[in-house]
Copies of this chain bind each other. A is one copy, B any other.
Amino acid sequence: MSSYNPPLNDMAFTLAHVLDARSQWAKIPAFKDLDQDTAMAVIEQAGTFASELLAPINATGDEHGCEWTPEGVHTPPGFREAYAAFVEQGWPALACAPEHGGQGLPHLLNAALYEMLAGANHGWTMYPGLLYGAYETLAAHASPEVQSLYLPHIVSGEYLATMCLSEPQAGSDLGLIRTRGNWSNPDQVGNGARVHITGSKVFISGGDSDMSSNLVHLVLFRLPEAPTGTKGISLALVPKYLPDGTKNKVFADSIEKKMGIHGSATCQMRFEQAEGWLIGEPRQGLRAMFLMMNAARLHVALQGLGHLEAATQGAWAYAKERLQMRAPQRAAGMPREADPIAFQPAMRRVLWRLRARTDGGRVFAYWLAQRLDEAHHHPDAQERQCALSDVNFLTPVAKAFLTDLGHRSADEALQVWGGYGYVREFGIEQTVRDSRIAMIYEGTNEIQAIDLIQRKFLADGGAHAEDLITRMAQHAAIACARTPTRPFGESLELQIKHWRAAHEAILLRATHGIEHVLEVADDYLQATGHTMLAWAWTQIALACMKCAETQPTSELEARLASAQHGINYLLDDALPHWARLHRAPSHLASIQVDS
């Protein structure tokens, strides 16, 4: 049976020893009273919520799925109750600003919360998953009137929120959106003005549900005479129930039958002259949405990490219990005909691979959350800008690389269970199915790769990448200076060399046309992700050595072994990507695609 153990030790180690979170909080006025114990108390409570309330309804949520009725969508058994507890315990407000009724805690803690929610029950987590994005959008762009009507209910989680972007003909290409809106009163236009919206939206997560008393839809649409393409797109808030309590003309016409996250209602929505309010200025809709995208994409990256953690802990637990065949080096105290499969070399390698990815992936994701906090709150403007540049550059990497790793690792972990892995009751096949969506939504991983190589790397000619290299090289030098960490430092230096060579290759490709750059976009993203893991494993090793000076433990030994496995064996997985970045252009464009 599936269960979920909050990885509290790993999180505490990452915060205290790898990221030195307390030193950062001390520099930021908003977080100056926060310390490691308080932070871990919050994370521990979040872990209890995830393991005790969400994990038990994960498999049943998958089995039952959601039910569409003409009166509305019913969520699986227990989902409503868990959400009521989530609101009651104040989780939606965690990272919202105190002036809006939030707790004002760092994104870093929100990251730990959302990693655990997704790891314990991805389907359920879809419902509150868009609250923070809606909060940020409304806090930054909505008129005071709209804010006063909706913001408190979003912060408390009393109302849920959706993002209505995709239409049947407009998925990755939002420029093709056809949903239209009119001013309700031609004399009142601009931010906060009333609009009537008509159109169809698809793939709307939580487009309807029985979890909350009201829902707000953030809808992309076109005002009359708007230009075609992305420049003509505006944003509106459209509630399910209007302030006077009447039902708005918003309809969830059906729900999708999907590969996974069955507990999440993915709705086809219809707006029939539905009433709403313009959010931000006319035709600035995409800009308003993009502002919230870094946080939203980081949340998806954390889903990838959550799946990675869930698969890893499940595989280790099963491999220690399941007895099959004798291992070449037998388990101690096993006077039997078979050893735990964790002792088989093939399984052992899978187990450590999973663990190394999880440990490294967590450091990367949490560091990015920390940088997001600095981008928002650091008192120094230059520090804020540098942090924001890190966030902009690396968010597409975190989103695509960690979701890819989460799904692929779950798929690899399934193999540990053998035939039982293919059977529903052991849970891992659900993780494989659930994790697959994170590679698609919030911008497909291909879109992330294009974003990275074109809008992030090429846009400044590689300047920010060089800035990252400077900081990585500092860690590499520190690691090289001491014998136990030298292999890490040397390995990180090698990755830096590869990364820099890749940058030169991309700049050269760009002189031949963007086609040649885009065809290696995915390789560049994967290679960059591995470079980030090398950096993370080096930082873990440095932290382990520091801790071991005062108190060596078997836990630290295992942590170091995991990082060592990463640099010794897993950076090889980047070799195909480095190689392809330097290959001649493919000339695939000259071959007829219908041949």
- Chain B's closest residue to A261 (CB) is B422
Query: How far, in whole Å, are A325 and B513 apart by their CA atoms in the complex?
Result: 18
1/0 per residue A398-435: CB within 8 Å of B?
Answer: 00000000010001001100111111110001001100
Contact with B along A428-458 (1 / 0, CB 8 A): 0100110011011100111001100000000
Is A436 within 8 A of B419, CB to CB? Answer: no
- Complex Cα distance, B573 from A587, in Å, reads 20
- A interface, CB within 8 angstroms of B: 166, 169-173, 175-176, 202-203, 228-229, 256-260, 316, 319-320, 323-325, 328-329, 331, 337-338, 340, 342-349, 351-352, 407, 411, 414-415, 418-425, 429, 432-433, 436-437, 439-441, 444-446, 449-450, 513-515, 518-519, 521-522, 554-555, 557-558, 561, 565, 568-569, 572-573, 575-576, 579-580, 583-584, 586, 588-589, 591-595
Residue in B324, B331, B513 whose CB lies within 8 Å of A328? B513
Q: Which residues of B contact A345 (CB under 8 A)?
A: 515, 518-519, 521, 588-589
| List of B residues within 8 angstroms of A352 by Cβ | 586, 588
Contacts of A444 in B (CB 8 A): 415, 418
Q: Report yes or no: A425 in contact with B589, Cβ–Cβ below 8 A.
A: no
By the criterion CB–CB under 8 Å, are B176 and A338 in contact?
yes
Known interface pairs A349-B588, A415-B444, A594-B320; A257-B572 also in contact (CB < 8 Å): no
SS of A interface (majority):
helix
A229 to B338, CA, bound (A): 10
- Whether the Cβ atoms of A173 and B522 lie closer than 8 Å is no
Copies in the complex: 2
**A269 nearest CB across to chain B (Å):** 14
C-alpha gap A420/B594 in the complex (Å): 22
Q: Nearest chain-B residue to A168 (Cβ)? A: B420
Instruction: A257 to B60: give the CA distance in the assembly, Å.
Output: 13
In whole angstroms, what is the CA distance A414 to B260 when docked? 14
- Residues of B near A258 (CB, < 8 A) are 422-424, 429
Q: Are A423 and B257 in touch, CB under 8 angstroms?
A: yes
Rounded to whole Å, the gap between the CB of A325 and the closest CB of chain B is 4
Q: Check A565 against B588 for contact (C-beta < 8 Å).
A: yes
Nearest CB on B from A367, distance (A): 25
